Amino acid sequence: MNEPTRKDSTILIVGGGASGTIAAIRLLRSDLGRAGRIRIRLFEKSRDLARGVAYGTSSDFHRLNVRHGKMSLFPEDPENFSRWIAKHHPGELSVSFQPRPRYAEYLSSSLAEARRDAPADSFSSVRDEAIGFDRDGE
């Protein structure tokens, strides 16, 4: 007996700030994402992903309110952000409360890595404002 084939899914994420970016990263790194079974379309009207209100500042005077050792994107890898700092900003690991723009950089870097590891066409961002959607069977 033939199994019915599963149709690939498209997941729309509205908002490319921290939450939307983290959702995209986690989906791309999931079993379905790595298998190319999902397509992610992230809608963000601003120029930059991963910044949003929380991390959109350009001032290093604005700091995270949590120590870098507790800011990993991956609960299964709690030292991920700390290792990223050591690699990309040597000498800054001693600064417990990192600048907010640095966390946005970490999010962007993590998204780029997840995209590289995922099949082609698994992710795209749309620089526009989402005002609704119409499901037409696709």
- Per-residue pLDDT tens for 66-120? 999 999 999 999 999 999 999 999 999 899 999 999 999 999 999 999 999 999 9
Coil, strand or helix: which one is 123? Answer: strand
Beta strand pairing call for 38-43 and 123-126:
parallel
> What 3-state DSSP class applies to 55?
helix
Token pair listed for 75? 């609960």
The whole-number pLDDT of residue 7 equals 58
Q: Count of alpha carbons within 13 Å of 39, Cβ hemisphere only? A: 10
The Cα–Cα gap between 78 and 106 comes to 14
- Model-level pTM greater than 0.85? yes
- In the numeric block, which tokens belong to residue 57? 């500042």
